[in-house]
Amino acid sequence: MTDKIDALLREVEEFEADSPEEVEAFRLKMLSKKGAIPALFDDFKTVESERRKEMGMRLNRLKQAATQKVHELKTKLEARASQADKPKMPDLTMPAARDPIGSRHPISLVRNRINRIFERIGFVISEGPEIEDDWHNFSALNFPQEHPARDMQDTFFVSRNPDLALRTHTSSVQVRVMEGQQPPIRTISPGRVFRNEAISARAHCIFHQVEGLYIDEGVSFADMKQTLLYFAREMFGEQTQIRLRPSFFPFTEPSAEMDVSCNICGGPGCTICKYSGWIEVMGCGMVDPNVLENCGIDSRKYTGYAFGMGIERIAMNIYQIKDLRLFFENDMRFLQQFESVL
C-alpha cells in the first residue's frame, strides 16, 4: 500500500494541464468515488492496527496534495484565459506601419496635365452630358444627314429615343458653350466618349478626349499653330516639333491632322512611330462658319479654331504602353506602376 501511495503522490506532483478538461479528468481519476485515492481508503480497512496511524497520515497527505493540485491548476488556467481576453497594449516603441501609397489612373494623370497646360494660357474647362441629342452631337457641327458617323455602326443610340445617343466626341460641349455665351470664348472640354468599335490593342468603344475651342475677332490659322506648338513642347519636351497635314472634318475648314516628332527615337524611327519619326496626336482646324451661325455667333465678325485629341493615345506615347485595353481592365499590377506619380 505504501508503494501505491508514493506512486500516486509522485503522479500528483508531476501532473500539469493545458486545459480545464485535462484538470477535470485528473480530478475524476484521483478524487471521484471510484477514483484511485478513495480506493486506497477502502483498502485502509485491511491495514494492521499498528500501521494504521502512519498509513492514515500518508493517505490524508495524498488527498490534500491532489485536492490542492486541482485547485492550483484551475486557478492558473482561469487567470490565463482572463489575461487572453484583455486587449493587449500596443508597443509604442515599434515603428509605425506605412500605409500603402495610393495611385492615380494614368488617364487621369495625362488629362490633368493637359488641363493645366491650357489653363496657363487662359483656357477654361467646360463639361457637358454624356447622353446627347442629335443637334448637339451632329447637326450643329455640320454633319450631313447621310454622314456615316450617324449610322449605328459608329454610334450608340438610345433605343427608346432615336434622337438621343452616347456622345461620340466632346465637341457637343463646345456647341453648348457657343450657344450659351458670345465671344471671346476660350475653352477645353475633357471627357469620356463612346463609339461602336471593335475592342483591340489600338481601339476601344470607350475612350477619353480633350477638345479645345477659341473664338474671337481676328483669330487665324497661325494662332492655332502657335498654341498647339506651345502645347506639344509643354507636353512632350522643349525639343518637340510639330507638323500639320491637310485633312477633313465636317466642323472645321481648313482642317489638319497634327503630328509631333517622336520623343522615343528622336527621328530615325522606331516601333512607336512606325519608323516615320512622327506620331499623330490630334485633329484641328478653323471653325466652319456654318457651325458658328448654327450656334448664334456672327461668322462675319468672329473666327476661331478648334482641336481635339485622344487622351489614351497621348498616355500610350508618354508611358510607352502598347495595348489600349490595359487602361480599362483595372489590373493592379499595371496601375501600381503609377503610384509614385503625382
- pTM attached to this predicted model: 0.67
Domain-embedded: residue 234:
yes
Q: Are residues 128 and 204 in the same domain?
A: yes
Does residue 50 sit in the same domain as residue 184? no
Q: Which residue has the cell 513642347?
A: 233
State which of 84, 119, 146 marks the end of a domain.
84
Position 299 pLDDT exceeds 90: yes
Tally of domains within the chain: 2
- pLDDT category at 130 given cuts 50, 70, 90 is very high
What does the pLDDT read at residue 225?
A: 96
Identify the residue with better confidence: 84 or 276. 276
- Does 308 share its domain with 250? yes
Of the listed ranges 12-16, 263-267, 292-296, the least confidently predicted one is 263-267
Average pLDDT over residues 60-84: 82
Question: Within this chain, do residues 169 and 70 fall inside the same structural domain, yes or no?
Answer: no
- 54 lies in the same domain as 110: no
Task: Kindly list the distances between the CA atom of residue 158 and the CA atoms of 145, 174, 191, in Å, as whole numbers in the listed order.
Answer: 18, 22, 19
Q: What is the CATH classification number for the domain harbouring 190? A: 3.30.930.10
Same domain assignment for residues 173 and 141: yes
Kindly state whether residue 124 falls inside one of the protein's structural domains.
yes
pLDDT at 331: 87
HEC secondary structure over the chain? CHHHHHHHHHHHHHCCCCCHHHHHHHHHHHHCCCCHHHHHHHHHHHCCHHHHHHHHHHHHHHHHHHHHHHHHHHHHHHHHHHHHHCCCCCCCCCCCCCCCCCCCCHHHHHHHHHHHHHHCCCCEECCCCCEEEHHHHCHHHCCCCCCHHHCCCCCCECCCCCCEEECCCCHHHHHHHHHHCCCCEEEEEEEEEECCCCCECCECCEEEEEEEEEEECCCCHHHHHHHHHHHHHHHHCCCCCEEEEEEEECCEEEEEEEEEECCCCCCCCCCCCCCCCEEEEEEEEEECHHHHHHCCCCCCCCEEEEEEEEHHHHHHHHHCCCCHHHHCCCCHHHHHHHCCCC
Query: Would 95 be classed as within a structural domain?
Result: no
Show which of 20, 51, 84 is a domain's final residue.
84
Which of 84, 119, 139 finishes a domain? 84
Check if the beta carbon of residue 207 is closer than 8 Å to that of residue 220: no
270 and 329 both lie in a single domain = yes
Same domain, 256 and 297: yes
Asked if residue 140 and residue 75 are part of one domain, the reply reads no
- The span from the CA of 58 to the CA of 309, in Å, is 100
Residue 285 lies in a domain: yes
Residue 211, in any domain of the structure: yes
Do residues 35 and 114 both lie within one domain?
no
Give the largest CA-CA distance in the chain.
Answer: 139
Asked whether the predicted pLDDT for residue 342 surpasses 60, the reply is no
Higher pLDDT, 85 or 138: 138
In terms of domains, do 63 and 180 share one?
Answer: no
In a domain, 89, yes or no: no
- Residue 32 or 340, more confident: 32
Cell readout for 57 is 497520515
Are residues 187 and 228 both part of a single domain? yes
Name the residue range of residue 30's domain. 2-84
